[in-house]
Amino acid sequence: MRHYVSTSEQGINRESLPFKLYEKAKKFGVWDPRNIDFSNDKADWESLSAEQQESLLTLISFFYSAEEAVTKDVLPLIYAISKKGKFEEEMYLTTFLFEEAKHTDFFSLLLKEIGIKGELNYLHTPVYRKIFDEILPETMGRLMEDQSPKAIADAAVVYNMFTEGILAETGYWTFYQNLVNLKKMPGLLEGITNIKRDESRHISFGTFLLQRLISEDSSMYEYILGKLQELMPLAIQINDAPEEINPFGVVIADSHAFMQKQLNARLEVLRRAQGRSLEEIYRMEVVAE
């Protein structure tokens, strides 16, 4: 007989962090890419140098395909959490699929508005393909057969902590560093701001999920730490460049420093999970938005 959380004596835990994230998603996750004003972006795009266009288009192509990849690859995580009976967590995870698809929609619309057509896969580097064509789908796909704590931890590390919490956060930083001072492409930056807000909730959930696993089994902390350390060389490679300064004047070493800062922040949050009770983990406050 199926157990229904909603009509059980326990009911839905509306005070849990996953449910609070669900509430945030209902409030803040309903922005529409079609409501963004792209009227200045085409002229701004055409005013950029050829080198700046190539640099920015590469970054856009990385995000565009990555958003499609996570739209495809998040389903096994929803399935795994459902199989574990974590209903509030499943409720929030349903918003991931909608939001990742919308982010893909945004980049599609942006490229249409600035007049970019045709194949962009040629911009994907070998390390990009290693992460998004191999590691991400393989790690997430494993959850269809294996819902063990380590399999779920691998998924949360690769998806939430690494691709969203380190790679994407560094990418947002680069978009802003490239364009804010130039006062160009406001539509692109508005969309990036909206996406960053959505993803901050995703990262908060991934952090919560890993903290829950650590609370349930303290040995998971070292396992998760090892997984992150294993992935970090790929982060450095994907963000590396032969020149010391990009075409917008951004120092590459600064982006590496930002990336390391993001990693350190994630590690500190996980470190603090050690010794916390499950009740404490579930009742943590939402810091996203």
pLDDT value, residue 5: 83
List, in sequence order, every residue forming a beta bridge with 245; answer none if it has no partner: 251
List, in sequence order, every residue forming a beta bridge with 251; answer none if it has no partner: 245
DSSP string, 49-83: -HHHHHHHHHHHHHHHHHHHHHHHHSHHHHHHHHH
Q: How many CB atoms lie within 10 A of CB 161?
A: 26
pLDDT value, residue 285: 82
pLDDT value, residue 169: 96
pLDDT value, residue 239: 83
Residue 83 to residues 34, 77, 87, 146, 152, Cα–Cα distance (Å)? 36, 10, 9, 10, 12
Cβ atoms of 161 and 207 closer than 8 Å: yes
pLDDT value, residue 6: 79
Q: How many CB atoms lie within 10 A of CB 9?
A: 4
Cβ atoms of 288 and 204 closer than 8 Å: yes
Q: Is CATH 2.40.50.1020 what the domain over 17-24+38-275 is classified as, yes or no?
A: no
The whole-angstrom separation of Cα 206 and Cα 164 is 10
Spell out the per-residue pLDDT of the chain, length 289, in tens.
Answer: 778 887 887 889 999 999 999 999 999 989 999 999 999 999 999 999 999 999 999 999 999 999 999 999 999 999 999 999 999 999 999 999 999 999 999 999 999 999 999 999 999 999 999 999 999 999 999 999 999 999 999 999 999 999 999 999 999 999 999 999 999 999 999 999 999 999 999 999 999 999 999 999 999 999 999 999 999 999 999 988 778 999 999 999 999 999 999 889 888 889 988 989 989 998 888 865 5
Q: What residues contact residue 92 under an 8 Å CB cut-off, 6+ apart?
A: 18, 19, 21, 22, 25, 205
pLDDT value, residue 289: 56
pTM given for the model: 0.94
The whole-angstrom separation of Cα 227 and Cα 88 is 26
- Residue 85, by phi and psi: left (phi above 0), alpha (psi -120 to 50) or beta? left
